[in-house]
Amino acid sequence: MVRVYRKDLDTFYEVSEERAIELEQVGYSRDPSVAGTDFGGSDMSAVQETQRQETEGYQIGQAMFAFLPESVLNAFAKEWVKSGDPDIAIGATRNTSEWKESFGYLKRADGSLIMDEVSALSTIATYKQTLGEVGIQDFTDFEDDFQQLVTSEVSGAEFQQRIDIVYSGIQDQIPEVERLFREQYNINVDQPTIFAALINPKIQDKVLAGDIATIQLQAEATSRGFSRTFAQFEALRKQGLTQASARQLYSQAGAAMQSAANVGRNLQLETLEKAALGDTAANRRLQRIQAEIQSQGGLTLGAAKKGDEVTGLIEN
């Protein structure tokens, strides 16, 4: 940095070499002995005066708000010229087009800020760190989502929790969930890319607790040899079948169906699914088959409950 001096000012400005050359053309000097003396009647134009003050305002902006983009710092410098007060200048800057382009998502309808700029950038940095932990390194397609999350006041911790829910669901059931996810969304790439596709372009409850939950139900069944369409598992999920219930149901369904076949009864998977969801007719059918099986010893069929929650079949 280079120090330049003015005859009507006792102090100096620190500027780049390129800027120092420009200022020397309009009466500034690198010689400290000129500081505080008079210009001797030299007349600087209004444009030169404004530019000189904007330079100082830019430096103040850099010192106080170094994280701001270049365009916003320039807008701050112009606003500082008007008041000479950094607090007033930053407030006015937040009404400029430059600020709105970079940070418009921070302003509520009533004009108040959801959070200040540095807090927003810090929060977005935590979002990126969370995605980085699951292998996502390219955030280009996530920028709008990040801003929407900040607008919705989703903290870094809450975002971490949301991502953990989805990611753990995939991790716990690899390779089955990955295979089903590829089939459902027609994607055949590496795991981080699959995961990125799952939560992009908009991270919503439907994605976080809907599609992934359905795929998890499907994985519980297909990993045990039971084939169903995504739409059928979506319907079961919406009727209340949880992953825990599905795990118990499908892990015991094969044995239950075989026990029924051994006594000459045809027990369908659909009946077991309906029973797990509390269907009265399905439970009555299971009770009749159970009576025949128990006469020969074997499985107890039916939906076990813990409180109001259906947990699946129980082996005796």
Residue 235 falls inside a structural domain: no
Q: Is 298 left (phi over 0), alpha (psi -120 to 50) or beta?
A: left
Same domain, 31 and 74: yes
Contact between residue 61 and residue 75 where contact means Cβ atoms under 8 Å apart: no
Nearest to 170 by CA among 185, 191, 201: 191
Residue 153 falls inside a structural domain: yes
pTM, rounded to two decimals: 0.49
% of the chain surpassing 90 pLDDT: 29
Q: Is 306 left (phi over 0), alpha (psi -120 to 50) or beta?
A: beta
Same domain, 284 and 257: yes
Q: How many domains does the chain have?
A: 3
Same domain, 154 and 88: no
Confidence of residue 208 (pLDDT cuts 50, 70, 90): very low
Residue 194 falls inside a structural domain: yes
Count CB atoms within 10 A of the CB of residue 7: 15
Confidence of residue 214 (pLDDT cuts 50, 70, 90): confident
Q: What is the token pair recorded at 60?
A: 């103040």
Residue 110 falls inside a structural domain: no
Same domain, 83 and 187: no
Domain boundary among 203, 229, 255: 229
Q: At which residue do the structure tokens 């990126």 appear?
A: 128
Domain boundary among 101, 132, 154: 101
Residue 111 falls inside a structural domain: no
Domain that holds residue 270: 243-314
